[in-house]
Structure 1
Amino acid sequence: MVNGLLEGKKIAILVETEFIPEEITAYQQRFGELGATVHLMSRLWGHESLCFVSDVDMVSKPLEYLNVNIDFQAVDINEYAAVIISAGYTSVRLRYFQPPEGCPISPELARTAPAVQFFAQAIANPKIVKGAICHGLWLLTPMPELLQGRKVICHEVTIADIANAGAVYVPSASGIVVDGDLVTGRSAHDVSAFIDAIAKLIIQHNTKPGQKQEFIGATS
């Protein structure tokens, strides 16, 4: 394993309540080993920080909590090497939008959700690696033009919505599909391979012609 290859790089992870603890830990540990700084961020609604909760495995574990003090609306997205939508139902909660007072709710207003707009900004910058795993692509369905023609994989629960938005579902034995600057994963269980694929793209984006960077992933 070669560490330090992402030294100085920042990774943005969008989170919310219903996050998957093991997935978040994997981002922090693996990207940290590679030298990157992981920023957990969400919509903080004017607060300095918020505490999010996970009850995804209450049968065998107690509630788990995650304190977040970075609001994605207050960062410069172009400072990040990668922007990742975490798994589980975080993308559903992040799609929340507030219609203008006195304005009837319409499907078009879903495009105004701050997290949707944030990820659209990331999509617009090809230098940023975009990652979405499990249910994550749900965040993009309000803007189907962002998914049109993109090769992806996602959890089976979301496959109809993603296909209806114009994406091309690609089965993958590894659980990972890479389409240009977009990396998608089938489920949170594939997070190690997902991280490796994102790290490889970041390194490729920052490797000069003739320069060789050896990367050995955790799943290699």
Structure 2
Amino acid sequence: MGDLVLREGPLTGTKIAVLIESDYYEPEIHYYQRRFAEEGAEVHFLTRLWGQDAITFTGHEWRVPFTATESFEGLSDEELRSYAAVIVPSGMVSDRLRYTEDVEVLAPAAEFVKRAFEQPSVLKGIICHGFWLLATVPETIRGRKVVCHNNLVGDVRNMGAEYVDSDVVLDGDDLVTGRTGQHAHLFARQIIDILVDRKAAQGGAA
């Protein structure tokens, strides 16, 4: 897919990270790619590159190729804080990213998301089966209000979260969750609104 042309918008100068792997849900990922850019934001798709410069993944619905060139591994706290939001998408992405060679060591993606939860300035977005990635770091959502795919309600409750039956749920000012990939437009709308409000509160600073 060709590079998208950013336009000036309320989120100009804002960076949003979206995790990516194979079996991604094309309608969701392609929507984020365009919708956030429409508001002026830079969208960075991060993955585990396994020492390579790039990896081409395929989508779940139509096997559409998607080439990722950016990794979440090795990012400093300062680099992590440069993202206004970190999104864990729907589908099989989080199941693939939660693989670890040593079961006594957190998967790099789980470690990255855990670090994001430690940064209140970073808005966290988890949708649908994205909660799979948080299974080994349940403390990140313990006591928090969330929504997830119906198949994962037991999982999030076992992680100590409070399930809320709504398409999109905002808990505090740093966690947005969505029911399924089919609700990506509502989920993204909530994220955009929060980031626009934050930027306005900061006087428009990026």
The code of the aligned residue for 1:17 comes to: S
Is residue 177 of structure 1 aligned with residue 172 of structure 2?
A: no
Aligned pairs for 1:97-116 within 5 A? 97-99=100-102, 105=103, 109=104, 112-116=106-110
Q: Residue 53 of structure 1: CA displacement?
A: 1.2
Unmatched 5+ residue regions in structure 2?
1-7
| CA–CA distance in structure 1, aligned partners of residues 27 and 186 of structure 2 | 14
Aligned to 1:47: 52
Q: Residue 206 of structure 1: CA displacement?
A: 2.2
Secondary structure of 2:70's counterpart equals coil
Aligned to 1:89: 92
Secondary structure of 2:45's counterpart equals strand
- TM-score w.r.t. the length of structure 1 is 0.84
User: Based on CA coordinates, which of the two structures has the bigger radius of gyration?
Assistant: 1
| CA–CA distance in structure 1, aligned partners of residues 201 and 100 of structure 2 | 41
The code of the aligned residue for 1:179 comes to: D
Q: Residue 208 of structure 1: CA displacement?
A: 2.5
Aligned to 1:197: 190
Aligned to 1:138: 132
| CA–CA distance in structure 1, aligned partners of residues 90 and 68 of structure 2 | 16
Secondary structure of 2:22's counterpart equals coil
The code of the aligned residue for 2:33 comes to: Q
Aligned to 1:158: 152
The code of the aligned residue for 1:131 comes to: G
| CA–CA distance in structure 1, aligned partners of residues 18 and 90 of structure 2 | 10
| CA–CA distance in structure 1, aligned partners of residues 115 and 137 of structure 2 | 12
Matched positions, count:
193
| Identical pairs, percent | 40
| CA–CA distance in structure 2, aligned partners of residues 97 and 188 of structure 1 | 25
Render the CA deviation track for 1:60-96: whole Å, top value 9, x for unaligned.
x4x2111000011143211100000011011111101
| CA–CA distance in structure 1, aligned partners of residues 201 and 49 of structure 2 | 38
| CA–CA distance in structure 2, aligned partners of residues 193 and 93 of structure 1 | 25
| CA–CA distance in structure 2, aligned partners of residues 14 and 73 of structure 1 | 12
Unmatched 5+ residue regions in structure 1?
100-104, 213-220
Q: Residue 112 of structure 1: CA displacement?
A: 1.2
| CA–CA distance in structure 2, aligned partners of residues 20 and 208 of structure 1 | 34
Structure 1 segments (4+ residues) deviating >3 Å: none
Aligned to 1:66: 66
CA contact (8 A) 1:141 1:147 kept: no
Aligned to 1:215: none
Aligned to 2:4: none
Aligned to 2:119: 125
- TM-score w.r.t. the length of structure 2 is 0.89
Q: Residue 162 of structure 1: CA displacement?
A: 1.0
| CA–CA distance in structure 2, aligned partners of residues 130 and 146 of structure 1 | 10
Render the CA deviation track for 1:26-60: whole Å, top value 9, x for unaligned.
10111001000001110000000001112x33xxx
Is residue 25 of structure 1 aligned with residue 30 of structure 2?
A: yes
Secondary structure of 1:5's counterpart equals coil
